[in-house]
Structure 1
Amino acid sequence: MEDKLKIRLTAAEMASLWTQYMNDTASICALTHFLEKLEDEEVRPVIEFALQATKTNISFLQNLFQKEDFPIPVGFNEQDVNPTAPKLFSDSFVLMYLRNMSILGMAASSLAIGVVTRTDVVGFHKSVLDASVRLQELSKEVMLNQGIYLRPPYISVPDKVDFIEKQRFLAGFFGGKRVLTGIEITHLFINVQTNSIGKALMVGFAQVAQKQDVKQYLLRGKQIAQKHIDLFSDVLRKEDLPAPMTWDASVSDSTTKVFSDKLIMYHVTAMIAAGIGNYGTAMAASPRRDIAMNYASIIPEISLYAEDGANIMIKHGWLEEPPQADDRNQLVKG
């Protein structure tokens, strides 16, 4: 007899839990290396907090998967990282990286809370959100103390409340362009910053990757990231606004294998997915036509890059299959 009190996992719950498990097993590998090669003791509590939060998530997820007879994903493990390999990224970059990961964690867990239903799953994503907020606070505090935190540009406080009266507010190709809104500035700033982080990661990953097709893919990604940095920075500079610094100098000259190519490709494709989401949000929030068109023009480029990455992962047997709907046609065929 069916247990009326046992509530099945929905597709949204399966997807969010599976994705969290994959991301957390990948994060443990990166954090383990960062902690092993740490030089700045002020950064230690930040990495330790992130590592402990990630391990707590993994423990919860494994127990839940077992109770639900849900196959525990392979994800990533100690075979995907060499903690004792030479330092690949500076401690300052690690701080910036962790802060960016906390932003992605807040966005993902907030979305999950909005679509999951079961009490235990809601509670889990709330705990992930709390940890992401705390990681944001910890990393920001250290960066402020060290003078490396980059604030978005300042603009003047408006003199009065006003309303848009002319279509010129939307213009961007012909005639005079209006100045940027605060929202447009914010998205341009964030997208320069995330591409700068992504570019530095790809440079470091390319140095330690083993397979030639992975190396070439990462170098291509570096060029795309630089192109997008230049595009967004140019818009800011034309408005006499500063663009964020790049992190190119934060990568060491080590070529010793630190992470498996499988982990590197997963990390890069996850970053690309986040980037596509950022561009879509920025396009919707940018009324000036030329800026919106910039985002619209580069989304297909980065989407194709993501597809090529998936093909490399499939080729080498690295792409783990997420939960899917039942194939009714196949079930009928038997």
Structure 2
Amino acid sequence: MKEHQTRLTASEIATLWSSCQNNSMAICVFKYFLEHVEDEDIKSVVTYALHTSEENLQESQRILKEDKQSIPVGFSDEDVNVNAPRLYSDTYYLNYIKNMAKVGLSVYGVALATSAKTSVRDWLSKAIQTSTEMYNKTSDALLSKGLFIRPPYVITDNEIDFIDQKNYKRGLLTMNPRTINVIEITHVYANIETNLVGQILLSGLAQVAKAKEVRKYCNRGKEIATKHIEQFSNILTDDYIPVPMPSDLTVSNSTTAPFSDKLIMFHTALLIQSSTSNYSTAAAASLRTDIVTTYVRLTAEVTTYANDGINIMIGQSWLEEPPQPINKKNLSN
């Protein structure tokens, strides 16, 4: 059946426009990684990630051009110095790409559910497939090298039951606290993992950023991530749940910038968006009130941090304005 030709909807424009920015940034990051990766298996994963980002960028630009929409400036070779010394370990490359693949699965999945145009849905469906492939490739590489850090193992009671008392929501600050359940463990551990990836990333970026305010901002983000890792870890250890941690996500002592300050700030903003989304999902899935309160409190802290970053980007003219509808009020006046 031939599709009735229509213009792109607001949500489709938003998805494509954001994809152009995000993938142009990812291309810069992966080009730099590829210049320094030594392990051949990991190099294969980085190459695939670069190729996937390039394809996504080209396709999103093509669909926007077809609809006569503006293409964001995004990022280019001017924003990356591939000859800068190595900043991160090969193992970190794998964990970084694994985390980016998870973000891609989430973002593209939500976007597909809000899209109607066939070309957009086809592109998003393929993007979900490649994000899945990227996640599997990274996971397989981590497993083969004994580097995959699994969520905690637990022993369950193997009984089917229904919650019949409101005190099930009691947490550690109340009498007779309820042990954390497996759904809550899943989200808590996932947020430890993503904060760890962000902590290492910002540790390196804080060393190489050129502007003092950008270095200060990255250091502040690193401290926030470190604190959040500690608070999430305490939730698990208070119930005697082990917190597995990788030991070889290292940062070198290089102070030569591989990325522009504009790219660094944009990348940090992406991390914040991902954290905010993860915390909201986790809070909605948690039944223990103290865990929900923790997510709400940490979300407020991240939101304040994000707002300060936006102010820095606006002050430096680094923040591109998303497409917006024509102001009909101005036209009528």
Give the TM-score band, short-chain normalised: over 0.9
AA at the equivalent of 2:51 = Q
Q: What is the correspondence of 1:105-116 to structure 2 with a 5 Å cutoff? A: 105-116=104-115
Match of 1:136 in 2: 135
CA distance in 2 between counterparts of 1:195 and 1:159 reads 32
Structure 1 contact 88–204 (Cα < 8 Å) conserved: yes
Q: What is the correspondence of 1:237-256 to structure 2 with a 5 Å cutoff? A: 237-245=237-245, 250-256=250-256
CA distance in 2 between counterparts of 1:251 and 1:208 reads 11
**SS across alignment from 1:250:** coil
CA distance in 1 between counterparts of 2:41 and 2:257 reads 27
**SS across alignment from 1:42:** helix
Task: Report the CA distance between 1:332 and its aligned residue.
Answer: 2.4
**SS across alignment from 2:41:** coil
AA at the equivalent of 1:156 = I
Match of 2:307 in 1: 307
Calculate the TM-score normalised by the size of structure 1. Answer: 0.96
Match of 1:286 in 2: 286
**Range that drifts further, 62-71 or 241-250:** 241-250
Task: Report the CA distance between 1:84 and its aligned residue.
Answer: 1.2
Match of 2:47 in 1: 48
- Note the alpha carbon deviations across 1:32-69, whole angstroms, 9 max, x for none: 00001111111011111111111111221222222211
**Ranges in structure 1 where 5+ consecutive residues have no aligned partner:** none
- Note the alpha carbon deviations across 1:305-331, whole angstroms, 9 max, x for none: 001001100000100111223322222
Match of 2:36 in 1: 37
CA distance in 2 between counterparts of 1:81 and 1:155 reads 44
Match of 2:213 in 1: 213
AA at the equivalent of 2:267 = H
Structure 1 residues 6 and 249, CA, compared in 2 at 3 Å: closer, same or farther? closer
CA distance in 2 between counterparts of 1:17 and 1:108 reads 12
Task: Report the CA distance between 1:5 and its aligned residue.
Answer: 4.4
CA distance in 1 between counterparts of 2:110 and 2:121 reads 11
**Range that drifts further, 64-73 or 24-33:** 64-73
**SS across alignment from 1:43:** helix
AA at the equivalent of 2:94 = L
AA at the equivalent of 1:268 = T
How many residues are paired up? 330
Structure 1 residues 249 and 134, CA, compared in 2 at 3 Å: closer, same or farther? closer
AA at the equivalent of 2:253 = D
Q: What is the correspondence of 1:197-276 to structure 2 with a 5 Å cutoff? A: 197-245=197-245, 250-276=250-276
Q: What is the correspondence of 1:69-218 to structure 2 with a 5 Å cutoff? A: 69-172=68-171, 173-218=173-218
CA distance in 1 between counterparts of 2:264 and 2:312 reads 12
CA distance in 1 between counterparts of 2:297 and 2:246 reads 23
- Note the alpha carbon deviations across 1:1-47, whole angstroms, 9 max, x for none: xxx94310000100011111111000000000000111111101111
CA distance in 2 between counterparts of 1:310 and 1:237 reads 35
**SS across alignment from 2:40:** coil
AA at the equivalent of 1:164 = I
AA at the equivalent of 2:280 = G
Structure 1 contact 197–246 (Cα < 8 Å) conserved: no
**Ranges in structure 2 where 5+ consecutive residues have no aligned partner:** none
Structure 2 contact 179–239 (Cα < 8 Å) conserved: yes
Task: Report the CA distance between 1:176 and its aligned residue.
Answer: 1.2
Task: Report the CA distance between 1:72 and its aligned residue.
Answer: 1.2
Match of 1:18 in 2: 17
**SS across alignment from 1:39:** coil
Task: Report the CA distance between 1:232 and its aligned residue.
Answer: 0.4
- Note the alpha carbon deviations across 1:255-307, whole angstroms, 9 max, x for none: 00100000000000011011001111111111101111111111111101001
Structure 1 contact 193–244 (Cα < 8 Å) conserved: no
What is the aligned-residue identity percentage? 39
CA distance in 2 between counterparts of 1:221 and 1:120 reads 38
CA distance in 1 between counterparts of 2:248 and 2:292 reads 28
Structure 1 contact 193–246 (Cα < 8 Å) conserved: no
- Note the alpha carbon deviations across 1:153-206, whole angstroms, 9 max, x for none: 112243221111222201123211111110100111011111111111111001
Structure 2 contact 16–61 (Cα < 8 Å) conserved: no
CA distance in 1 between counterparts of 2:229 and 2:282 reads 15
Calculate the TM-score normalised by the size of structure 2. Answer: 0.96
CA distance in 1 between counterparts of 2:247 and 2:268 reads 17
Structure 1 contact 200–247 (Cα < 8 Å) conserved: no
AA at the equivalent of 2:223 = Q
Structure 1 contact 189–244 (Cα < 8 Å) conserved: no
